[in-house]
Amino acid sequence: MSSPVTQQNRRGPARPVKRKGRRTKKIVIVLLVLAGLLVGADFALAAVAEHTVSQKAREQLGLTEDPSVTVHGFPFTTQALSGDYRHISVSATGVPVQDTLRDVGVAAELRDVDAPLSDLMAGNVDNIKINEVEGQVRIKDSDIARVDPLDKIENLRIAPSTEDYVRHGDEGAVEEDAAKEEKDGSSAGIRLSGEVQIAGERVEIIAFAIIDLDGNTVRISPERLEFGNGQDRTVVPPEVQQTLLPSFEADISTGSLPFTVTPTDIEVESGAIVVKGTAENVRFSGMSGN
């Protein structure tokens, strides 16, 4: 005769379930640790590659410090093994151009980069192939103030303006969006302001000009002037304009864009002029921008 099932007998099988749960937990922990190690190794390998590219870019640009390099996309290891990188960013500040500009910003977005891992790890980056490059240089107003004759203007500042406002002021101004649709990108409106000496007095002058691209040269052509006095502005008399306009006329050499990029577009930001361009099928050896 079988013995009756007791409450104690019902609880007995629960212990192996707990042991199984502990084993599952340990496996999960091990997998998480392994995943963390793999991710760490991936980032470490990416850091080595970025440092190698950065050092070579520093040499070719003639910089005193390594530029910033970022390899986009995760995981890096997959891209490294195939030698095909979707997107790499290179940027640097404080790049000198000739004897005038001291603090030019240089940036390049490299897309579809062909770089075998063996070459990258060995530092052999000159033959790296780049399918598409978007390059730009950024010239600050502090550097523009070094260019003759703009170096005669005190506290020079720049800001964007529409080309229509430059030419006509309030009388012929159009909406900014409409003005952008008409322009091709190789020119832009700019507002330059600063202080000059007139009859022994320091006077704030605001110049409205058109900037154009001529190869690697930015040409500033002033159209009209206003006297500034806080929020109030008055038009400079024509005879005075003829005298002062040349003080705001200048040619600025940007140097060559990185990776043999041809300058095609120019923009004005608050405090800077930005020159942009694109190129296809280039090599890393064309990094030098001067």
**Average pLDDT of every residue of the chain:** 77
Q: What is the pLDDT of residue 150?
A: 92
What DSSP character marks residue 172?
T
Give the span between the Cα atoms of 76 and 99, in whole angstroms.
40
The verdict on residue 176 lying in a domain is yes
Q: Does residue 124 sit within a domain?
A: no
Domain presence at residue 240:
yes
| Amino acid at residue number 82 | S
Residue 161 within any structural domain of the chain:
yes
Residue type (1 letter), 59: E
Q: How confident is the model at residue 28 (pLDDT cuts 50, 70, 90)?
A: low
Percent of the chain surpassing pLDDT 70: 71
pLDDT for 231 beyond 50 = yes
* Closest to 261 in 3D by CA, of 241, 283, 239, 242: 283
- Contact by Cβ (8 Å): 186, 265: yes
Q: What angle do CA 64, 70, 71 make, to 5 degrees?
A: 140
Look up the domain containing 173 and give its range. 150-248
Greater pLDDT, 229 or 234: 234
Report yes or no on 90 lying in a domain: no
pTM as predicted: 0.74
User: Per-residue confidence at 106, pLDDT binned at 50, 70, 90?
Assistant: confident
**pLDDT tens digits, one per residue of 65-98:** 788 888 887 777 777 777 788 888 888 888 877 7
Q: How far is CA 214 from the centre of its chain?
A: 22
Terminal CA-CA length for the chain? 101
Report if residue 61 sits inside a domain: no
Question: How many Cβ atoms are within 10 Å of 256's Cβ, its own excluded?
Answer: 20
116 vs 45, higher pLDDT:
116
Q: CB–CB of 82/102 below 8 Å? A: no
